[in-house]
Amino acid sequence: MGFLWSQLRQAVPLIYHGDSYIWSVTWVTLRLALVSTAAATVIGLPFAVTLGLGRFRGRRVLQALANASMALPSVVVGVFVLILLLPGGVLGSLQIEFTLRGVYIAQTLLALPFIVALVPAAIQGLAPGLLQQARALGAGRMQLAVLALREARIGLLAAVIAAFGSAISEVGAVVIVGGNIQGHDQTLGSAVLQQITDYADYPEAVGIGLVLLVLILILMAALTVLQQRAGGLGLRFRTGTVS
């Protein structure tokens, strides 16, 4: 316990005095999380809405696969993406292996299952008669999709929160695809790994870990507040409509 306390005492001043290394990897982590979550949301929403609203053979099988994909090991995804990016791979011509752009691809693939799996579940949890009534009133596919996403916005926000949380704390795929190169594609999580395994610099590792934990708490709290406000607005809207 005394050893831990001594490391904390050395780590806190690094954060307080604005250690350049810590803040550089913090910026990379935030940028990676924001870009990959946004890309996963844009790519995944059409598939999610199709699974949530569709009536086609094999939909349950696809949903099961989407749910299973949330448990994909990040190292497996990292190896898969790296093979695609290496010379001779499908994406080898891009020459982005061991770069941050390659990590964007890997992290987007890891964030995508949360959108594709959780959003359909939120849509299917809507009031049974809501979508049927919209169909009966002549709503087209796009109108129905917009209605479903609006009514399931709390579930949509939960999916985004899960995807963002996955992105901000990822380590395995970042190290494999990006190479964990200091000053280029390191994130907070991969920086902690390097400080421990390569340099045994425990105060630096603890400082980076503290920033990561605080960042997760702040961002998740902010997104949770937005989620609760969305639910409150929806409740007041429905109450006003009924009365």
pLDDT of the residue at 8: 72
pLDDT of the residue at 67: 92
pLDDT of the residue at 231: 59
Tell me the C-alpha distance between 79 and 177, whole Å. Answer: 7
Is domain 2-237 classified as CATH 1.20.1090.10? no
pLDDT tens digits along 92-122: 999 999 999 999 999 999 999 999 999 999 9
Give the other-Cβ count within 10 Å of 170's Cβ: 26
Across the range 127-148, mean pLDDT stands at: 81
pLDDT of residue 158 exceeding 90: no
pTM over cut 0.75: yes
pLDDT of the residue at 232: 56
pLDDT of residue 47 exceeding 90: yes
pLDDT of the residue at 235: 43
pLDDT of residue 240 exceeding 60: no
pLDDT tens digits along 17-38: 777 888 899 999 999 999 999 9
pLDDT > 90 in the chain, percent? 46
Across the range 3-8, mean pLDDT stands at: 72
**Position 143 confidence tier, pLDDT thresholds 50, 70, 90:** confident
Q: Could you tell me which residue, 237 or 71, shows the higher pLDDT?
A: 71
Tell me the pLDDT of the chain averaged across its residues: 85
pLDDT tens digits along 169-210: 889 999 999 988 887 889 999 999 999 887 778 888 889 999
Give me the residue spans of the domains in the chain.
Answer: 2-237
pLDDT of the residue at 230: 63
Q: On the CB side of 25, how many CA atoms lie within 13 Å of its CA? A: 31
Q: Could you tell me which residue, 139 or 37, shows the higher pLDDT?
A: 37
Record the tokens describing residue 236, joined without a space: 């007041």
Q: Could you tell me which residue, 229 or 177, shows the higher pLDDT?
A: 177
Record the tokens describing residue 216, joined without a space: 């997760």
**Position 238 confidence tier, pLDDT thresholds 50, 70, 90:** very low
What dihedral angle (degrees, nearest 10) is formed by the CA atoms of 185, 210, 168, 83?
A: 40
pLDDT of the residue at 216: 85
Q: What would the DSSP string read from start to end of 57-113?
A: TTHHHHHHHHHHHTT--HHHHHHHHHHHHSTTSTTGGG--TTSHHHHHHHHHHHHHH
